[in-house]
Chains A and B, each alone.
Chain A
Amino acid sequence: MEDKYKVIVGMEIHVELKTSSKMFCGCKNDPFHAEKPNIYTCPICLGLPGALPVANKKAIEWTIKLGLALGCKINTLSKFDRKHYFYPDLPKGYQISQYDLPFCFEGRVQTSFGPVGITRVHLEEDTGKLIHQKVDGRDVSLIDFNRSSVPLVEIVSEPEIYSSLQAKEYAKKLRQVIRYLDISDCDMEKGGMRLEANISLQKKGETKLPNYKVELKNINSFRFLERGIEYEIKRQKEILDSGKTPDQETRGFNSEKGITYTQRSKEEAADYRYFPDPDLPPIRLDDKWMSEIKSTEPELIDSVFTRWEKDYKVDRKLTELLFETTEESKKLNEIFSNLSKQKLAVDKFVNAVVNKKLSVNLFTVSVEEIATLFKKSVAVDDITDEQLTLIIKKILSINQKAVADYKSGKTNVINFLVGMVMREAKKKIEFGRMVKLIKSSIK
């Protein structure tokens, strides 16, 4: 397969921002936890006659922050456009979105497979939620507008993802950056983060992009993303091998069967009739506002990891398990710095926390207390080899049978001996070290 075709994937990811209020009105932004349907609505997000939108400043600022964290350029003059189509969950018959002047454009995300370009990051409003059900024997759709007009950020990548693994890593990386900025919970099960992949295969040697692409939608986990893309690659390869071109279409992923299936049978290019929304004035990101936003922009997450690797010799693969948000990273920074000043091994600390040897809530407990707890856990090993060997020799001498058992092959008798030594020493000593010393004493 690798010889004949090159996999080309572009991703579109939608993320719900966790502002307190909705994008164009003051209704509460909490659709997932609403006790009842249609309780967080108003004339604006219900699309009642005569209602008008007013844009949420924080949602705009968070979009800019995300763009900056993804290395994007910012359009200092931006606007909202109307995107027209009919669907029961779209109350106005159009979605307020962004067309040709998105807030952010031309960014980049690094993956272990190489960089992936970000075409654009724009802001729009979410739709209501449709539930398909049978009521009185009829097939109906029930609509809940609690989610209508929640701020939604759309991140579009260039078609520069070349494998299912890279797609997964890209999506995970985005989630990490977004969680780091603390602008969304990215909970895929709640629809807080939605993945879409455009997949096609390019014949090796071709320089032009393939003349078709298949859109894979409704993927709600990273694993399904990977499997869905893998399945698609196989499916498309078969079609191409037979001399045909795969249909340009939208497909869903059936996680139970592990296959993709057609969702929209006929792919007509939709005519959204975009035009600038006359109800919303343009947004001018002047120098003053931009510098305000930039001043709250945290250190880039990649540079945090790099710095920690350099200063504290801590592996990124471990540290990224310890935190999500900027606030949390700042606390970690303080902890690492404190430990380092006390000449304690930060890498050992990280290991201990990751392996649950050291059980402490890094974000509610004070730095001093954490350092003390760590010192204690390390301190149980503050006995020299010579002192320990003396104790070991004593234990061995009064447990001749155990020594004989060990020599004859019953190696797990070592645990018994370790326990005896620890009781005698009245300290907790690192297991590996004990075993090493006992073994050498037996010899």
Chain B
Amino acid sequence: MLINKSIKELSSLLKKKEISSVDLVKESFDKVEKLDSKLHSFITLREKKQVLKEAETKDKLRKEDSSIIYGLPFSIKDAYNSEDLRTTAGNKILDDYSPPYSATVLKKIIDSGSILIGKNNLDAWGHGGSTENTDYQPAHNPWDLNRIPGGSSGGSAIAISTRMVPFSIGEDTGGSIRSPSSMCNISGLKVTYGRVSRYGTIAYASSLDSVGPMAKSVEDLSYLLEIIAGKDEFDSTSSSIQVDKYSQFLDQSIKGKIIGLPKEFFTKGLDPKIKKTILEATKTFEKLGAKIKEVSLPYFAYGVSIYYLIAPSETSSNLGRYDGTRYGGERELFSDETKRRILLGTYALSAGYADKLYKKAQKLRTVLIQEYENALKECDVLLAPVSPSLPSIIGELINDPLKNILEDLYTVTINLVGAPSLSIPAGFAEGLPVGMQIIGKKFAEKELLQIGHLYQQETDWHKRLPPILGK
């Protein structure tokens, strides 16, 4: 299985002409054809003939100094505008929307020579953590087809978990890269807000949305981040802070680094099996020379309330453009979950309520930032679970709005403060993947990737393949 190899290895084999892009694309489509009717990782697949032609061209034009991802197949969450290729955001309103432009992040990957296979399934508009809130069939976890793959970037996680593609681009507003990464046993990076351009990303919550890579390993993520990070003249919130050569610092020792465990994330709401798995993981970090310390971030316990006042407010605003005149269908096509969020956001912003709700939440956000900055004065990074529970049975969460949003407790606060967070496999419980997140200071992706990479040198959770692949 070629796509099980690392990006570095694939690039080397391609350049030595021991394998071809055509081989990779063929393997990709074969996998999709074989498995996707059970998984629903994709909403739109590009036409196979056309993609193969593209692969042939890449094989012909490949040079010694071509990008490390040149000629590799990839997929992208269907929340990104892809020029002349249908983009739905997971909802029938955009069922036949064909963008006249591509998102910056997609352009960068394609300019580096990668080959787009298709658009991945998601919770519509980013609204959800289970990839069930989609008009294109709920997605299934490759580790247990009855369970959710996490979300909202569930389709991307499935595609990598089953090695349909070596990497994908997801998007994280309240955990949407980290949650499916954790539940599908892959690595995903929520970047610092502003690290990667949001231009062309169908907006969920503008002050929280983070564009990020998802792949089989931290090493793979580091190459992708080098390519997609950086200032974009089309995104006023993109950062001009220098982009590091992340892949070159992966092997640096983490001896003496202090890893903080937020007390509030390890309380009774957390499934004891997950807690056990993560505390087990801390032993590996200690073996690598890091020190574990308990920290307290009391207001982080209010994360869900704060997030669910701000994110729906911003989404109610961002979804105002879907009025059916210039594109798309009528507003009544929004799903229940989306309608709920729009109504909640409209409520939180409306005259008479805004002070107690939206504005108060923005003030609490200031407190969260303070607590996080204080904690990261005592520690280098924080370590936390991604989900309070193992992947639930499909249908359980989507029908219980409150239970649904409580699943986001550990991830939403990170978006509120704008911090980066790396989600990597930490073990298994009852045969289901358990991920953990390593949270850093703003723009400290380099450090997170180091820590994650060294962990992956000591463990092999991330190498395990889901049973659906039959190995």
- Mark A residues whose CB is within 8 Å of B: 43, 46-55, 82, 84, 86, 88, 91-94, 143, 269, 271, 273, 275, 277-281
Contact A50 B199 (CB under 8 A): yes
Query: How far, in Å, is A92 (CB) from chain B's closest CB?
Result: 5
Structural contact, A94 and B317, CB atoms closer than 8 A: yes
Shortest Cβ gap from A382 to chain B (Å)? 66
B-chain residues with CB within 8 Å of residue A51 when the two chains form the complex: 199-200
**How many residues in B have their beta carbons less than 8 Å from beta carbons of A?**
41
Asked if B389 is at the interface of the complex by the 8 Å CB criterion, the answer is no
Contact of B321 among A53, A54, A91, A271 (CB under 8 A): A91
Q: Is the CB of A49 within 8 A of B236?
A: no
Q: Is the beta-carbon distance between B351 and A271 smaller than 8 angstroms?
A: yes
Interface centre among A91, A92, A273, by most chain B C-beta atoms within 10 angstroms, is: A273
> Could you list 19 further interchain pairs (A-B, Cβ under 8 angstroms) beyond the known A49-B94, A49-B321?
A43-B100, A43-B101, A48-B101, A50-B103, A50-B199, A51-B200, A54-B234, A54-B236, A55-B236, A82-B317, A84-B320, A84-B349, A88-B325, A93-B321, A273-B317, A273-B351, A275-B349, A275-B354, A279-B236
Do the beta carbons of A280 and B313 come within 8 Å of each other?
Answer: no
- B positions within 8 Å CB-CB of A: 80-81, 87, 89, 94, 97, 99-101, 103, 198-203, 205-207, 233-237, 313-314, 317, 319-323, 325-327, 346, 349-351, 354, 358
Q: How far is the CB of A155 from chain B (nearest CB, A)?
A: 25
Provide the main secondary structure of the chain B interface.
Answer: loop
A88 CA to B323 CA in the complex, in Å?
8
| Cβ distance A43 to chain B, nearest Cβ, rounded Å | 5
Write 12 A-B pairs (CB below 8 A) sorted by A numbering: A49-B87, A49-B327, A52-B199, A54-B234, A55-B236, A84-B349, A91-B326, A273-B317, A273-B346, A275-B354, A278-B207, A281-B237
Q: What's the least CB distance linking B311 to chain A, in Å?
A: 11
Q: Which residues of A contact B205 (CB under 8 A)?
A: 278
Question: Shortest CB–CB separation between residue A79 and chain B, in angstroms?
Answer: 12
Give A54 to B127 CA distance when docked, in angstroms.
26
- Chain B's closest residue to A88 (CB) is B325
Find chain A residues with CB under 8 A from B322 CB.
49, 93
Residue of B nearest to A43 (CB): B101
Q: Which of B81, B237, B349 contacts A50 (CB 8 A)?
A: B81
CB-CB under 8 A from A281, the residues of chain B are: 236-237
CB distance from B98 to the nearest CB of A (A): 11
By a CB distance below 8 angstroms, the chain B residues around A53 are: 236
Contact B327 A48 (CB under 8 A): yes
Which residues of B are found within 8 Å of A43, using beta-carbon distances? Answer: 81, 99-101, 200
Contacting B320 at CB < 8 Å: which of A46, A86, A275, A279? A86
Asked if residues B327 and A280 are in contact (CB atoms below 8 Å), the reply is: no
Q: Which residue of B lies closest to A281 (CB)?
A: B236
In the bound assembly, the distance between CA atoms of A50 and B81 in angstroms comes to 7
Distance to closest chain A CB from B227 (angstroms): 20
Residue on A nearest B314 in the bound complex, by CB: A278
Pair B349/A278 contact, Cβ less than 8 Å? no
Q: How far is the CB of B309 from chain A (nearest CB, A)?
A: 12
Q: Which 7 pairs from chain A and chain B are nearest by CB?
A: A93-B320, A278-B207, A273-B349, A278-B206, A47-B321, A50-B200, A49-B202
- By beta carbon, the residue of chain B nearest A279 is B206
CA distance A35 to B318 in the complex (A): 32
Bound together, the chains give a CA A280 to CA B207 distance in angstroms of 10
A82 CA to B316 CA in the complex, in Å?
12
A94 proximity list for chain B (CB < 8 A): 317, 320
How far apart sit A278 and B346, CA to CA, in the bound complex (Å)?
16
Kindly state the separation between the CA atoms of A92 and B236 in the bound complex, as whole angstroms: 18
Q: Given known contacts A48-B99, A51-B199, A54-B236, is B323 in contact with A275 (CB within 8 Å)?
A: no
